[in-house]
Amino acid sequence: MDDVRFFDRAGPFTLGEIAGWIGAEIARGSEALRIDDVGTLTLAGPGHISFYDNPKYERDFTATGASAILVAKRNSDRVPDSAAALVVGDPGRSFNEIVRRYYPDALRPSPIWDDAPAGNGIHPTATIEDGAIVEPGAIVGMHARIGRGTRILSGCVIGQRVQIGRDCSIGPSVSVTHSLIGDRVILHPGVRIGQDGFGYAMGPAGHAKIPQIGRVIVQDDVEIGANTTVDRGALRDTTIGEGTKIDNMVQIGHNVVVGRHCVIVSQVAIAGSATLGDFVAIGGQAGIMNHVTIGDFAQVATLSAVRDDLPPKGRYGGVPARPAREWLKQTAALQKVAQDYMSGRRREKGTDENVRKREPD
């Protein structure tokens, strides 16, 4: 797929300018250092600025290629020698302010057209390959591309720069923004792809919106059920692997990576930055917490809550999710305890009644 950017970037800015925005101390580095963009510790390279405030990402911190890193004072001496160090009280909140300066247009939904639509609802800059069909009432935005054999049904909204591959079926009232869609993808009615992920820097002064500047990548042969939502990434992409099948009313948060040929059943909720391996199966109404990794071929039972990483190939269930055999044994033991308790209560009640019957009036 093409390397499409959905937001125009401001800048570049100098390290001195950035430090002035957030009241940072430059512990190491030149004020004149040019910073072109923002990025995560893993994706940042030369000319990028990132931040570190969670020991879970210690390995990423020490290996990052970023040119500058925001850190708390306690970590200022640990910044890699290759990077400038900016010391702030709250690295995450300060980084959010920097992202807002580089990508101010990401704070609200992007326009589909640069003026009011006219005629058939297809923007003049959009590319519609021969054999593609855009039904009446559908809107195709600026610089969007629709592949041969794809049908965009009535009521759809296809955002600017979105790319949809060949032989796809995009159902009624679907919205697709900030996304690249592969070939032979089926989106059922009401699917929402590419909207903001839920991200705020919370504090006593209120909740500052975190710009979501990533994309959604949907690979070939994916099918997504009615009213399912897939949020775009914050700094990196949300990805749905090829051949994956997703049921109705599923929520997939920002930065989530779903592997190839997964099956995700109705009303599953997957929180931000979770990762599913290949051929993972998730039962209905299960919840997956943020930053959790589920290994290849794992199966998670319905109504389970996954709060820790799950190894590959296992079967898991319960709250919290654990190996299925362990979960079933614990459930059976708990039921037995409850039954024994209730039986004891009934025996005590029967004894009390017999005593009362023998007592003289």
Cα(77)–Cα(277) distance, integer angstroms: 36
Strands ordered across the beta sheet of 275-276? 127-128, 145-146, 163-164, 179-181, 216-218, 238-240, 257-258, 275-276, 293-294
Cα(259)–Cα(308) distance, integer angstroms: 18
* pLDDT attached to residue 358: 57
Q: What is the mean pLDDT of residues 182-209?
A: 91
Round the CA-based radius of gyration of the chain to a whole number and report it.
26
Backbone angles phi, psi at 223, to 5 degrees: -125, 130
pLDDT in tens, 301-343: 999 999 999 999 999 999 999 998 887 888 788 787 777 777 7
Query: Which of 43-52, 172-181, 343-352 bottoms out in mean pLDDT, i.e. has the lowest?
Result: 343-352
Query: Which of 120-134, 323-337, 339-353 bottoms out in mean pLDDT, i.e. has the lowest?
Result: 339-353
Which strand (E) or helix (H) includes residue 61? helix 58-63
Judged against a pLDDT cut of 70, whether residue 241 lies above it is answered with: yes
Average pLDDT across the chain, whole number: 91
Judged against a pLDDT cut of 90, whether residue 148 lies above it is answered with: yes
Q: What is the mean pLDDT of residues 340-350?
A: 68
More confident residue, 206 or 304: 304
Judged against a pLDDT cut of 80, whether residue 156 lies above it is answered with: yes
* pLDDT attached to residue 351: 58
What is the C-alpha end-to-end distance of the chain, expressed in Å? 91
Contact 207, 227 (CB under 8 A): no
* pLDDT attached to residue 207: 87
Tokens of 109: 């939904």
Q: What is the mean pLDDT of residues 227-240?
A: 96
Give the pLDDT band (50/70/90) at residue 346. low
Judged against a pLDDT cut of 70, whether residue 164 lies above it is answered with: yes
3-state helix, strand, coil in the chain (%, to 5): 20, 25, 55
Helices (H) and strands (E) counted in the chain, each on its own, are 4, 38
The torsion region of residue 332 among left (phi > 0), alpha (psi -120 to 50) and beta comes to alpha
* pLDDT attached to residue 295: 98
Active-site annotation holds for 261: no
Judged against a pLDDT cut of 70, whether residue 357 lies above it is answered with: no
* pLDDT attached to residue 36: 95
Give the pLDDT band (50/70/90) at residue 266. very high
If one counts every other C-beta atom within 10 angstroms of the C-beta of residue 275, the result is: 19
More confident residue, 249 or 199: 249
Judged against a pLDDT cut of 70, whether residue 127 lies above it is answered with: yes
Instruction: Point out the catalytic residue in the list 143, 207, 254, 291.
Output: 254
Judged against a pLDDT cut of 90, whether residue 118 lies above it is answered with: no
Q: What is the mean pLDDT of residues 209-219?
A: 94
Tokens of 276: 């599913």
* pLDDT attached to residue 122: 93
* pLDDT attached to residue 354: 55
* pLDDT attached to residue 42: 92
166 strand-pairing partners: none
230 strand-pairing partners: 193, 252
Q: What is the mean pLDDT of residues 58-72?
A: 94
DSSP state of 105: G
Tokens of 225: 């059920």
Cα(293)–Cα(259) distance, integer angstroms: 11
pTM listed for this prediction: 0.88
More confident residue, 264 or 340: 264
